[in-house]
Amino acid sequence: MRTLDVGCGINKLPGSIGIDRNAASRADVICDLDHFPYPFRDSSFNALQAVHVVEHLRDVMKTMEEFHRLVRPGGEVFIVTPHYTDFSSFCDPTHRWHLNSFSLRYFGEDNAGYGYYSNVRFEEISVHVKLLALWRWLGFEFLVNAFPRYRRFWEHYLCYVVRGKVIEWRLRAIKK
Ligand SMILES: C[S@@+](CC[C@H](N)C(=O)[O-])C[C@H]1O[C@@H](n2cnc3c(N)ncnc32)[C@H](O)[C@@H]1O
């Protein structure tokens, strides 16, 4: 199982190959993630994770396309990013992007009708939203994750009050 931990920082996934620009990180390969391609061959990883990284990078669409290139057909990609209503999303001035739980739909079925954004495809294995503790205790986190239609309702009508914390996507690379 060859796994790439993109932007691994000091918390590199055990057994993975870490890549980061920071020499003080646990990276095995130092490089700038805003410059493509990353120094690996096509389809050279079984899996890839980017935990609290994409919000720092210049181009989310190109970054996702690079992740797609790097994993084998059917390879899994795990992305974690703050929900845009969380304190951390706007507090950190190095965050360029503030995403919601539908932000990666442009890589899904029919590219959400936006094939001109990207023609790269991922199948969504799961999307999980963590909410602030109070709302989790009151059962909102269960509802948001158990029912996709409720998650849509929450994103449209409730999320500025019932605030999110973190979004986690598990995706599978579709390659012809
Ligand atoms: C918030 S930290 C997350 C670290 C780790 N994934 C974790 O969960 O603890 C973001 C990481 O992305 C790296 N990073 C941000 N922008 C980068 C870039 N353009 N090129 C390479 N690494 C970058 C930082 O050096 C940092 O290690």
pLDDT in tens, 56-91: 999 999 999 999 999 999 999 999 999 999 999 999
pLDDT for residue 45:
98
- Is 19 inside a domain boundary? yes
Ligand 1 centroid to Cα of residue 9, in Å, is 5
- Is 141 inside a domain boundary? no
- Is 38 inside a domain boundary? yes
Q: Please give the tally of structural domains in the chain.
A: 1
pLDDT for residue 166:
98
Residue 162 · residue 131 · CB < 8 Å = yes
pLDDT for residue 112:
80
- Is 67 inside a domain boundary? yes
Q: Is 11 in the pocket of ligand 1 (CB under 6 A)?
A: yes
Percent above pLDDT 90 for the chain = 93
Q: Atom of ligand 1 at shortest distance to CA of 49?
A: 6
pLDDT for residue 176:
83
Average pLDDT score over residue span 162-168: 97
Q: Atom of ligand 1 at shortest distance to CA of 58?
A: 19
Instruction: Categorize the per-residue pLDDT at 148 as very low, low, confident or very high, splitting at 50, 70 and 90.
Output: very high
CA–CA distances in Å: residue 23 to residues 1, 30, 55, 142: 25, 7, 20, 40
- Residue 110 structural domain: 3-131+166-174
- Is 144 inside a domain boundary? no
CATH code, domain carrying 38: 3.40.50.150
